[in-house]
Structure 1
Amino acid sequence: MNQITHLNEHGQTHMVDVSDKSTTQRMAIAEGRVFFPPEIYQQIQQSHGQTAKGTITEIARIAGIMAAKNTAQIIPLCHPMMLEKCKLMLEYQDDNCSLKIRAEVGITHKTGVEMEALTAVSAAALTVYDMTKALSHDIVIGEIRLVHKSGGKRLFNREN
């Protein structure tokens, strides 16, 4: 039976002990979207994603990578990790006026990197919001989810 791993047998919070786990190659992929009102999406497309703060996708990519590398500083009880891979892909989706954000994070370690991938997507999406909020506050961040995890006890795959 699965249990909440950050609580001990007395219900007290603790960091998970990974000392007995095997070191394996671990990978996590997360995705999310930023949805824009159609007129704002069109405006972004016409400017080729350029804002006074820089190119939306490039600044968001940097924010996502930085967030993944610092996940343990902002998510309580996460193990600090020296990531070996952190790749962010950002792609405009004309069919629903959105920006799709995908993070792939990898490491050889005793614990997984799901939180790092989810944090990368979240920070990138928040950065996009910050860079475009002057255009509209009707921008919606959503659909942030884990789509793949491998290397630990269980494989998880929600890919198409």
Structure 2
Amino acid sequence: MRFRLGSIALFALLLVSACRPFEPATPPGFVELEDRYGRSEYRATTADGVVIGIRAFDNDPKGERAFWVRALENRTRDMGGYALLEKREVKDRAGLTGTQLRFGHDEGDEPYLYYLTVFVTDDRVFILEAGGARAQMQRLAEQIDWSVKNFLHR
């Protein structure tokens, strides 16, 4: 009976983890905000308010990474009033190449940074986000980079 319950619990755990089309990597110093988002979203935060997140969408209409990067860049600048500071290529844990857009935005006297990282497969578009006050984002730069490098698409 104990083996059967253990097997059922293991199967349920595998089923839950299989619901997301990705495997997030919560870095040290961040806490996952569980049960607040749907199966294709993830959020984690620090005590100081830096937030990281992941969203997954169907790649429909089918577009290459360059298309999705440009669409997100335009939307973030035009709708959000963010200035593009830097664009760089990154890789996830499986070696998939993505593009990271780094934006800046001032709210009152305080500068903020917002990073969008885009990975694209034939089936899905994955958007990894990180944002917060510039001083906090700079202090947590290694953890944020680690979460991108250890992200795994499925």
- Give the TM-score normalised by the residue count of structure 2: 0.30
Higher relative contact order (CA 8 A, sep 6+): 1
Q: TM-score, normalised by structure 1?
A: 0.29
Q: Identify the structure with the greater strand proportion.
A: 2
